[in-house]
Structure 1
Amino acid sequence: MKFRELLEIDLEYLKRIVALEEEAFEGQGGVDLWILKALIRYGKVFVLETEEGELVSILEFMQVFQKKEVFLYGICTRKKYRQQGWAEYMLELGERYLVENGYQEVALTVDPKNEIAIHLYRNRKYKVLEIQKNEYGEGVDRLLMKKSLE
């Protein structure tokens, strides 16, 4: 597997990422081309690929202004590669990059019903700070989680 930062904007490759996001999130909350381009230019996007170039996982961060903190915008893994540790591997490498570049905290939000993601984040030492009620509309709650990188 190859882990790399996405630096260039190749429209066909970005369409592959959007398709993977749609598969992973089943049309609920994945990135679109507009957001993805902004994340590449003004945040950090990492991909994990097979040696043949198949996309396995994607990891996206946004910087929090005036803090040494980032927001984990998204992480997803192609369905056929799930339950094999790839998301945790991506998160580990992404966090290592952040530490090497002076960041001190990572924040994220997650659906309180997404037990698999919550388990992943807890394994990586993220702590629940609050429940954000109706964050994306009536009855659409999120858990705010954070991790210190120090």
Structure 2
Amino acid sequence: MNSAEQTITVEIATKIDEYLRETMLAIDEEAFGPGSLNEWSLPPFLHYGRVYVARYNGTPVGIAELMRDWRDPELAYLYGAAVAKEYQGYGIGTAMLRAILEGLPRSGFRRLQLTVHPENQIAIHIYQDKFRMRKVDFMKDYYGPGEDRWLFEWTWDG
């Protein structure tokens, strides 16, 4: 396929049809296994949080979910971000994260936090090197025994 035909778009999902719902849940499950979104957790994110969908040539291939921090109105939390395995390496995750970060200040947010498994070197590289996020904490047993996470933070400089 010629590069002129390859299009990545990122949109905020509010209402979704059955196909998009199933696709989004499958992408998330492929990435996060038992910790993934399901038919019960996705609707609250759609209605009370923010859900982004990345499309590659019109096909939904990525999902990201955000929530607000009740203690700090300028802080958003990236609950999850995933790109279908067969579409990784095309810049889709980068485009999705860029769209998220560009939209946050317009919505009143100055900071974004997210967690990363300490062995996920690809994600760590992307967050640190491409988006200048910094590690702010190491959270031992965050998701239970042996499930440690790095806490990363992005700050808007504008």
Question: Quick one: distance in 2 between partners of 1:9 and 1:56?
Answer: 14
Q: Does 1:49 align with 2:58?
A: no
- Letter of the 1:35 partner, please give it: S
Following superposition, the deviation at residue 24 of structure 1 comes to 2.4
Identity %: 32
Following superposition, the deviation at residue 119 of structure 1 comes to 0.8
- Letter of the 1:32 partner, please give it: N
Q: Does 1:6 align with 2:13?
A: yes
Question: Any conservation in 2 of the 1:49–1:56 contact (CA below 8 Å)?
Answer: yes
What is the aligned residue count?
A: 148
Aligned partner of 1:31 among 33, 37, 43: 37
Aligned partner of 1:149 among 143, 151, 156: 156
Normalising by structure 2, we get a TM-score of 0.87
Question: Quick one: distance in 2 between partners of 1:9 and 1:73?
Answer: 19
Following superposition, the deviation at residue 143 of structure 1 comes to 0.6
- Deviation above 6 Å: which 4+ runs of structure 1? none
RMSD: 1.4
Following superposition, the deviation at residue 86 of structure 1 comes to 1.1
SS of residue in 2 equivalent to 1:16: helix
Structure 2 residue ranges without an equivalent (≥5)? 1-7
Question: Quick one: distance in 1 between partners of 2:135 and 2:56?
Answer: 33
Question: Any conservation in 2 of the 1:9–1:37 contact (CA below 8 Å)?
Answer: no
- Letter of the 1:30 partner, please give it: S
Structure 1 residue ranges without an equivalent (≥5)? none
Normalising by structure 1, we get a TM-score of 0.91
Following superposition, the deviation at residue 9 of structure 1 comes to 4.2
Question: Quick one: distance in 1 between partners of 2:73 and 2:56?
Answer: 35
